[in-house]
Structure 1
Amino acid sequence: MSTGSHLLIVDDDPEIRSLLATELRKAGFSVAVAGNGVAMRREIERGGIDLVILDLNLPGEDGLALCRALRATSELPVIMLTARGDPIDRILGLEMGADDYVAKPFEPRELAARIRNVLKRSQSLPVNLEPLAAKGARFAGWTLDFEHRQIIDATGRVTVLSGTEFRLLRLFVEYANRVLSREQLLALGAVKQSEANDRAIDLQVSRLRARFGSEGADLIRTVRYEGYVLAAAVELL
């Protein structure tokens, strides 16, 4: 899986960039580096990047802002790096759409393993998660924007979804009015492989419902002993 995969390391510390690039090349990846958001965008525009390793603590635009900007325009997988130990940083990173999160200091082999796992998930998505001709979907007064991974309510209020929330809602939209069991949702990649269990599905459904406020439980319904269903007519846009 790693052979031929092209990584972009975004870190303002030249020593860390050099060390990571050396170790990841040893692991079989090809590597580009950038010291800030401007250089990151330049490398991405050149094309060929398969995954971005993004430091949280960057000068100017920090990693969270850059991750959110990436998610608004790209499906590129993102692994965030940080020296901070506060769990809120991990939560914020994942909510901005990061696919994984590694705290410094870390073993290069651990990072390489996480990269392979994220690439495996992103490169082996089931057919139903391949890009659609549609740009979004409308249901029950809500609009799901596929490109920007956000939902918009009837008043125009925008809520940006995490990567997991988007994948889960995308599945519910594509299988609207059909019950999906926890096993089916796991098989379709609704949650990260490292979190793949029934409890993870229940937790993510609960979080997704919360994005819809008081409508959440009626919109994404529990079917006892069977699973979950999006109970709404869906119009692709």
Structure 2
Amino acid sequence: MQPTATVLVYSDDSNTREQVRLATGRRPAPDVPQVEFLECATPAAVLRELDRGGIDVCVLDGEAVPMGGMGVCRQIKDEVFRCPPVLLLIGRPQDAWLATWSRADAAVTLPVDPVEFAASLAALLRQKRLVSA
């Protein structure tokens, strides 16, 4: 049985979560594990799932309501021991500095571009694999 990676996707918008799933497919690159998604629509659900453990990468929607992914990212980077890498979805390229402020490991713009998103997610999965080894 091949290993799988668990990717937590936070957005209050089911269409955004679907964009992430479709852009990723079964695996974002041939050299990384297949992906299983864990979807969360609220910040409380994100924290609950991170407390349970087993998350390899978080994808957070910076445009989510009532708490955007940037705020969630900054909070989990402060509060979660060995926080998984975070890929932040931002509304505009000009918001990249906010992604840096939130301590996201990578950022891509919305709507999700499948090639850019898959490349960023694969890079974070590779990074996670190297850190865990």
> TM range, normalised to the smaller chain?
0.7 to 0.9
Distance in structure 2 (CA, Å) of the matches to 1:21 and 1:33: 10
Moved over 3 A (4+): none
Distance in structure 2 (CA, Å) of the matches to 1:90 and 1:112: 18
Matches within 5 A, 1:57-136: 57-74=63-80, 75-82=83-90, 84-87=91-94, 89-125=95-131
Write out per-residue CA displacement over residues 180-212 of structure 1, whole angstroms, 9 at most, x where no aligned residue. xxxxxxxxxxxxxxxxxxxxxxxxxxxxxxxxx
Q: Which has the higher contact order (CA 8 A, sep 6+)?
A: 2
TM-score for both structures, normalised by structure 1: 0.47
Residues 23/60 of structure 1: CA separation in 2 closer, same or farther (3 Å cut):
same
- What residue number does 1:37 align with? 43
Matches within 5 A, 1:108-187: 108-125=114-131
Write out per-residue CA displacement over residues 112-136 of structure 1, whole angstroms, 9 at most, x where no aligned residue. 2211111222331499xxxxxxxxx
Distance in structure 2 (CA, Å) of the matches to 1:11 and 1:61: 10
Distance in structure 1 (CA, Å) of the matches to 2:93 and 2:113: 19
How many residues of Structure 1 are paired with residues of Structure 2 in the alignment? 124
TM-score for both structures, normalised by structure 2: 0.80
Q: Which runs of 5+ in 1 are unaligned?
A: 128-237
Larger radius of gyration: 1
CA-CA distance at 1:105 after TM superposition: 2.2
What is the root-mean-square deviation in Å for CA atoms of aligned residues? 2.3
- What residue number does 2:30 align with? none
CA-CA distance at 1:110 after TM superposition: 2.5
